[in-house]
Amino acid sequence: MPTLNADLHCHSVVSDGTLTPEQLAERAAANGVALWSLTDHDEVGGQQRAAAAARASGMRYVTGTEVSVTFAGETVHIVGLGFDADDEALRAGLRATRGGRGARAREMSEQLAAAGIEGAYEGALKYVGNPELISRTHFARFLVEAGVCRDTGEVFRRFLTEGHPGFVPHRWAGLRDAVRWITGAGGIAVIAHPARYRFTANEEYALFSEFKAHGGQGVEVVTGSHTVAEYARYADTAREFGLAASRGSDFHSPGESHTDLGQLPPLPGAVTPVWDLLADRIR
Ligand code: AMP
Ligand code: MN
Ligand code: MN
Ligand code: MN
């Protein structure tokens, strides 16, 4: 059903969101979400709580995560849906992907100190809910608290991104590995927010064709960071590559996210909704 209110992308305190899985479930249900997934970055530690909270709120639930990948020198995010969250190879892969965040964070802090901003590592840690998952988002919250920037959007424009203080290049998982961890655990791999990558047309084509060759099956079409024109554009791309279409807010926090849970428009017509492929994995 293309009009199902499915929200298959958001973050809790288990990664870089500010709400607990239970608070997110309550908010999603209040906004009319019927099928929900919590997709914390490189983590499945919140899955049991999310599934239980979804059940208590009367929503259907599908397991989720968002894996950080390096492809053609750019960070790409691959959402996994409907996998077995106890799968050992998936858990080991995510653990390895999380590794290195601590050292990266200390380097980010050193760069920020050199730019005159002291104590960023300790400041960011105050916002961290999962010690294995310190992210740029936690630094962004500290820089707002410290009065350096007005909001986290300004932080990412002035700091933490390529060419700005606090950006530390990082090598994440390989595309093939990320897709295999997800599909090996019985799940469906989905390219997250494709319009956000700074790829040439050739690089984007390579991403989609290699993803498909590795066994990827979906792409986010309607997501919090896409424009209406981008919904149409990636609906076309989904059809061109024979991929199912996903919908997810990418909600992180009431104070920071422009798009709330369950509030995006429905998928455009003539695409296969990813939940059609997930039917036997929904609980
Ligand atoms: P990391 O995995 O540590 O590199 O952090 C990536 C996270 O930073 C993303 O998942 C977003 O939550 C956040 N982020 C990245 N770019 C921006 C931006 N321009 N504005 C706000 N948040 C951003
Ligand atoms: Mn995030
Ligand atoms: Mn993402
Ligand atoms: Mn996300």
Distance CA 17, CA 41 (A): 10
Angle 175-184/88-98 helices, nearest 10 degrees? 150
How far does the centroid of ligand 4 lie from the alpha carbon of residue 40, in Å? Answer: 7
* Domain regions of the chain by residue span: 6-97+171-281, 101-158
How far does the centroid of ligand 2 lie from the alpha carbon of residue 10, in Å? Answer: 8
Exposure string for 107-130, b = 16+ CB within 10 A, e = fewer: ebbebbeeeebeebbebbeebbbb
Answer whether 41 contacts ligand 1 (Cβ < 6 A). yes
Nearest CA to ligand 1 atom 13: 137
User: Given the DSSP bridges, would you call strands 74-81 and 188-191 parallel, antiparallel or unpaired?
Assistant: antiparallel
For the domain with range 101-158, which CATH number is right: 1.10.150.650, 3.40.50.300, 2.40.10.10, 1.20.1430.10?
1.10.150.650
**Closest listed residue to residue 110, CA positions, set 159, 165, 152:** 165
Beta bridge mates, 7 = 36
Give CA 23 to chain center in angstroms.
18
**Closest listed residue to residue 134, CA positions, set 13, 256, 255:** 13
Q: Which ligand is nearest to the CA of 139?
A: 1
pLDDT at residue 224, rounded to an integer: 97
pLDDT at residue 101, rounded to an integer: 97
What Cα–Cα distance (Å) separates residue 209 from each residue in 203, 212, 256?
A: 10, 5, 34
pLDDT at residue 283, rounded to an integer: 85
Answer whether 159 contacts ligand 1 (Cβ < 6 A). no
Nearest CA to ligand 1 atom 3: 135
pLDDT at residue 2, rounded to an integer: 73
Segments in the chain below pLDDT 70:
none
What global pTM score does this model have?
0.98
Nearest CA to ligand 1 atom 5: 136
pLDDT at residue 1, rounded to an integer: 74
Q: Does domain 6-97+171-281 have CATH number 3.60.110.10?
A: no
